[in-house]
Each structure stands twice: as C-alpha cells, then as structure tokens.
Amino acid sequence: MNSYTFAKLSINIDGNYIIAEPKISYAISSDPGKTNYPVKYVVIYELNYKNGLGENILSYIPYYLSDGQTNNFRAGMLFPFMCFNDDSKNLNDCPVSESYNYGVLLKYHVAKNLDFRFIYKWINSKIVEKFGQRGVEFINSHLPSASQNGRIGVSSVLVRIENLLDFFIAIYSDRIINYNNYDINTYKPNFNNAFDYSAYSNPSVEHIYADIYNEYRRLHLIFLNDYIVNFQHYNIINYELVPLNFNLVTISQFNSLNFIKICSPTGILQDKKTNTLNYVNISGKLHNLILSIKDLYKTPQLFWNKYNYIQPHLFDNFFDHYKQFFSKFDYLIMDFKPNTNEPNNVLDKNIQNWNAVCKAFGGNKYFKKYLKYKLKYLELKNKNN
C-alpha cells in the first residue's frame, strides 16, 4: 500500500516543548467471520512534553482517519480513540461494550474544554450572506434533520474534538494546509476508500442543498487553515509532513498491540492508566501554555518583551494582527478540566462512561448478569423511595 503523509508538530512556548510525532500507521480490516467493514486507517502518535527543568511526559495515543461517513467532510483529519470494540476472543485486549457493535471505535472522553459555537455562528452568518433566504432555510431546517445530538452531519466536524492538542493534530492535514489545491467536491466522503480522492460519494442527505454543503465545507477549510497560518506566523507551531507506510492488521490484531492493549486477566493494565493520565497532562500543559500567550496583547510591555526582534515600523501592524487573532481564543478555550475527580483513575472512569468492561473480568456472560441484577436493584430501590 502506498505511503501517506501525517503531520509532525513541534510546539515551543517559552522553553516548553511539545512534540506530536506520527510513529507508525495501520490499515485495519475486519477479522474473518465478522462484519466486513471498509478498511480503517490509524496512526499512533507519540506525544512528548519537555521543559528546561527536566520534566518529561510521554504518551502514545492512536488516532483514526475520519472517512467523512458521519460528518460528510473528508479532509484527512485525525481523531483520538482507545481501541476497537471486539467480542471475538475469550480474553479481550480492549474493553468490550455491550452497547456497541463489533468494530465500533471506543473513544476517549477525558477533557472537554473547547467551544466551537462561535465558529459555527461565523459559518452560518456567511451561509446566509451568500445564499439569503435559502441559506436561512438550510440552517433552520436541514442541518438539524441531518444531525443527531450534534454528532452527525456536516455541522458536527469539530464537536468531536475535545482538547486543544487533538484540535491541532486534527487540522494539520495536507488537505487543510493546501486546500486551495483541491477540488471542493473531493471533500465529500468516499464510502469505499478514505484515501481515494479521485472518487467521492454524493450523500443523499444533501440533495437540493449540494451547493450550500460545499460552501459549508469550504468555510471550514478557510477557518481551520487560518489557525495553521497564524501559529506558523508567530513561530509557535512548526510542522512537517512525514510519510508513513501502512501495516496491514485485523481489528483483533490491532487491539493486541503493546501500544493499544488495555486489558489483562487481572484487570486494566497499570501502564495504560499512566499512559492515559500522561495524555491528559500533556493536553493540559499545552492548554495552559496557549492561555499564557493568548493574553499578551492585553499587556503591551509583556508583548514587546516577547517580540522585540520585530522592526519598529512593522510592530504596530504585528501587534494589531496578533490581538485580532488571539482574541478568538476567548471564545474557543474553556477551562481545562479532566473528565474525572480522580485523575489517577481516569481510564477507569472513561471506560465506565460507555458501560464497558474488560472481557477478561468474566466476559459477556457475567456482564449481562451484572446488568440484569443492577436493573432489578434499581427497580426495588425506586419502589422503596
């Protein structure tokens, strides 16, 4: 299989370094005898934080390539997940959820701290500006009909991103960096091959609004590319596109990889708890570092101390541009709060969020019994209240 490029990000803020580097990639097919899904593409990222005080935090997180099937936007974006739901083995490497089918991506929900409402407000205003009443009808009636709890449809592209580190990994895609080089139609999904941009599907949900859907895609690209250009301009994030060849594995083989495997016969592996906690800590470090420079424009002297190398006759324009760009983060970034009150137990809490268990604890048979008696207990409790 041909190689594909993924972005290595190098972030340097006042001597704090965060490197997000793609290390290995997989093309993942269904196991024999199971539902035959299209191949899924996954990249393992090494996330590394370092500072001058000797602090070094390391985490390995898998990111899947979005094929655009649920959000109708195929731009080479990567999103984090834990592993694949798989009940095909007696002792599972990945937690098993009775709520989901085989092959479903089980995802992290560890630190929700981004708010994209202002972006969609801007996009919607541009849609109305260009299409008038037809744009209003599209926003008021068609988008909600193509959406389910905000997680499906073209207006759900960004809401699946929960923290700033994952936001940067998602948007630093060749298809977003160089979007002007590509036909906007190629950003539609290809249900057979996520990497084949010579072909694309025309989702039935778009019908009479196909031109507005394409404009919705284009406005996403403009907005996201603006972040890339500006962080490069201020020498905060540098990137290089790294080519990787895909390793061919099945879902069960992927779940058993050392990078991925979460369960053991005695429970959740301790190193995976540490790995997940490190992922949260690195995400928090980046979040707070961005906040530390975001408000520099509010204190001109601090701003000058950081950017005093700029020629005086260019400084005022530079300052005004910086203020205009970074004030956007007042709307984008919420407080960084891990999705648990017990950080050391973050992986356990995350697994509980989607009612999953390690099959090694007794398997589906015992899990079903647990659910049965839990329901009976709740019924009796409710009667007594």
pLDDT in tens, 101-118: 899 998 887 777 888 888
155 within 8 A of 120, measured Cβ to Cβ? yes
276 within 8 A of 262, measured Cβ to Cβ? no
Mean predicted confidence (pLDDT) in 41-70? 93
pLDDT value for 325: 81
Residue 300 CB partners (closer than 8 Å, separation 6+): 319
226 within 8 A of 329, measured Cβ to Cβ? no
Task: Provide the pLDDT confidence category of residue 298 given band limits of 50, 70 and 90.
Answer: confident
Domain ranges for the chain, please list them.
Answer: 4-384
Q: Is residue 168 scored above 60 in pLDDT?
A: yes
Residues of the chain above pLDDT 70, percent: 85
Q: Is residue 62 scored above 90 in pLDDT?
A: yes
Task: Provide the pLDDT confidence category of residue 148 given band limits of 50, 70 and 90.
Answer: very low
User: What is the average pLDDT value for the chain, to the nearest integer?
Assistant: 83
pLDDT digit string, tens, across residues 199-253: 888 877 777 888 999 999 999 999 999 999 989 888 889 999 999 999 999 999 9
Mean predicted confidence (pLDDT) in 341-359? 71
Torsional class of 68: left (φ above 0), alpha (ψ -120 to 50), beta (otherwise): left
Mean predicted confidence (pLDDT) in 184-189? 92
What are the C-alpha distances in Å from 377 to residues 357, 372, 374? 20, 9, 5
Beta strands in 100-245 (DSSP E): 105-106, 237-244
Q: Tell me the whole-structure pTM to 2 decimals.
A: 0.87
pLDDT value for 248: 96
Residue 169 CB partners (closer than 8 Å, separation 6+): 7, 9, 20, 45, 63, 78, 80
| Residue 322 or 126, more confident | 126
pLDDT value for 16: 95
pLDDT value for 155: 77
